[in-house]
């Protein structure tokens, strides 16, 4: 009732149609994003002061871990020896993922952050890597705040935005840190929507013949749009659903990190066996410059991925990166055989699809297109 009363009074009496008093919100958001940028690049927030968010989400390289090219498949931790078990996804366009939820109309889990959706949103995601033993390896939230308190500029920024007492409660301060990083990830730095694909849509560029052929296949025979819709203005090229693509175990990675258990992905998070081996459908924006591919970084080349989708279920088909037949899925019981595995694409058609996907690269990363 109070809100209605205030609204009516504002509406009927004050009548200040566009007061501009909300500018402070945008200014606060800008301040948070600026603080978030500092935090995102700050290596002091890892145990050995060797890693920042930007280490695994390089702002100049598709927002992935570019330290080792495609060789390892997952990221090396702050301790210099630990290796994760999942491929660091690009942080580009991550802000657009809907909150993790179950869509009862579709009967599907949708959205969230991390490959298995275990963080509901950007802020929750930003809290994770600081405390992950194989990533930044900080002991706890208080340890992160202590490192921030070493930096007078960061302290000043935090207090200016969140109040002078923000550092008196470590969990609140940690929440503010995560929120600021999330706000930075929501800036156009991460989502410029200026790829050739966008420029063609807007009429300022045109596809080559091979790219246009790839688009036709992408929307048709190859069934890509079933999970990577590209319709309309600024498509995110994912439906944010989860799927088991039948990816084999990355044995080379497992040899490095010593992990011996089956990775059940979403199935573990939601405790549903039928979803074992399912991972979030990734955005295809910047896909050509964000190798390695798949949740465990198994494939080094984008064309290998297309060939895998094309021939995974074809007897005698060969993995071009190993020269051997495709290995069995790590989680075989829940593999999607309906939409991929035997698409009947020719080698030329695979090339066309790859050429088309190269148009998904942001303008600032186009020089990285292979």
Partner 1 sequence: MKKTFLALSVAALLSNVAFADDAADIAELKQQMAEMQANQEALVDETSNAQVGFTTVDTSYSHNGMGAAASKVYNSKSPLSIGGYGDMYFASSDKPGANNISDVYHFVPYIGYKFTDNIILNTEIEFEHGGSNAEEAIGAGSAKAEGYAIIEFMYLDFLISESFNVQLGHLLVPMGMINLRHEPTLYNTIQKPLTEKYIIPATWHSTGINTYGKIGDTGLTYNAGITQALELNNADNGDKGQIRDGRPGVTGKTLFNTAAFVGRLDYRGVTGLMMGASMYYGDASQGSVADATALIYDLHATYEIAGFKAKALYGATSISNAENIASNTTGEPNQSITDSNGYYVNLEYDVLASFATTQKAPIFVQYDYINPAATVVDSLGNTIAENVSETATTTIGLNYFPHEQVVLKADYAMTDFKAAGATDYNTISLGLGFIF
Binding site for partner 1 (CB under 8 A): 3-4, 7-8, 11-12, 17-23, 25-26, 29-30, 33, 95-99, 105-107, 111-113, 120-123, 179, 182-183, 186-188, 191, 193, 200-203, 232-234
Q: Least distance from C-beta 234 to partner 1, angstroms?
A: 7
Residues in CB range of 91: below 8 A, 6 or more apart: 53, 57, 63, 185, 190
- State which residue, 13 or 260, has the beta carbon closest to partner 1: 13
Separation between Cα atoms, residue 204 and residue 341, nearest integer Å? 36
Distance CA 31, CA 312 (A): 49
Instruction: List the structure tokens of 287.
Output: 């896909």
Q: How far apart are CA 307 and CA 320, in angstroms?
A: 8
Q: How far is the CB of 232 from partner 1 (least distance, A)?
A: 7
Q: Which is nearer to partner 1, 40 or 299 (CB)?
A: 40
| 172 C-beta neighbours (distance < 10 Å), count | 16
Nearest distance from C-beta of residue 129 to partner 1, angstroms: 17
Distance CA 128, CA 355 (A): 35
H/E stretch holding 183: helix 170-185
Task: State the DSSP string of 244-288.
Answer: ---PPP-HHHHHHH---S---BHHHHHT-GGGTTBEEPPP-TTGG
Output 29 or 336, the one with its CB closest to partner 1: 29
CB of 196 to partner 1, least distance (A): 11
By beta-carbon proximity to partner 1, the closer residue of 206 and 346 is 206
> Least distance (Å) from partner 1 to the CB of residue 107?
6
Of 236 and 343, which has the nearer Cβ to partner 1? Answer: 236
d(CA 346, CA 310): 9
User: Looking at beta carbons only, is 126 or 353 nearer to partner 1?
Assistant: 126
For residues 84 and 235, which CB has a smaller minimum distance to partner 1 in the complex?
235
Q: Are 224 and 336 in contact (CB under 8 A)?
A: no
Minimum Å gap between C-beta 45 and partner 1 is 19
- Give the C-alpha separation, 281 to 235, whole Å: 14
Angle, CA of 122, 89 and 38, to the nearest 5°: 55
Supply the minimum distance, in Å, between the C-beta of residue 15 and partner 1.
8
């Amino acid at each position: 009732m109070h809100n209605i009363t205030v609204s009516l009074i504002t509406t009927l009496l004050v009548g200040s149609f566009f007061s501009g008093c909300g500018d402070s919100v945008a200014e606060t958001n800008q301040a948070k994003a600026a603080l978030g940028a500092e935090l995102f690049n700050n290596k002091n927030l890892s145990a050995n002061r060797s890693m920042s968010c930007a280490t695994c989400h390089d702002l100049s390289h598709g927002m992935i871990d570019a330290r080792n090219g495609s060789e390892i498949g997952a990221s090396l931790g702050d301790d210099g020896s630990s290796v994760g078990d999942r491929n660091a996804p690009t942080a580009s366009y991550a802000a657009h993922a809907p909150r993790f939820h179950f869509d009862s109309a579709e009967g599907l889990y949708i959205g969230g952050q991390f490959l298995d959706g275990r963080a509901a949103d950007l802020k929750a995601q930003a809290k994770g890597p600081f405390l992950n033993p194989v990533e930044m390896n900080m002991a706890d939230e208080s340890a992160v705040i202590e490192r921030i308190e070493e930096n007078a500029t960061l302290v000043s920024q935090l207090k200016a935005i969140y109040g002078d007492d923000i550092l008196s409660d470590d969990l609140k301060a940690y929440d503010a840190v995560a929120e600021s990083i999330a706000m930075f990830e929501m800036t156009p730095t991460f989502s410029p929507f200026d790829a050739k694909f966008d420029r063609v849509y807007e009429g300022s560029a045109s596809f080559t013949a091979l790219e246009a052929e790839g688009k036709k296949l992408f929307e048709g025979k190859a069934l890509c749009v079933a999970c990577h819709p590209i319709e309309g203005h600024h498509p995110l090229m994912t439906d944010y659903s989860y799927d088991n693509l039948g990816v084999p175990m990355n044995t080379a990675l497992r040899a490095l990190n010593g992990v011996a258990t089956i990775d059940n992905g979403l199935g573990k998070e939601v405790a549903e066996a039928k979803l074992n081996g399912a991972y979030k459908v990734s955005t295809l924006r910047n896909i050509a410059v964000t190798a390695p591919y798949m949740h465990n970084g198994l494939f080094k080349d984008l064309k290998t991925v297309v060939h895998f989708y094309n021939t995974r279920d074809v007897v005698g088909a060969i993995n071009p990166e190993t020269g051997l037949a495709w290995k069995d899925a790590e989680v075989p019981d829940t593999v999607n055989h309906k939409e991929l595995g035997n698409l009947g694409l020719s080698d030329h058609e695979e090339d066309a699809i790859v050429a088309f996907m190269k148009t998904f690269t942001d303008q600032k990363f186009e020089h990285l297109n292979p």
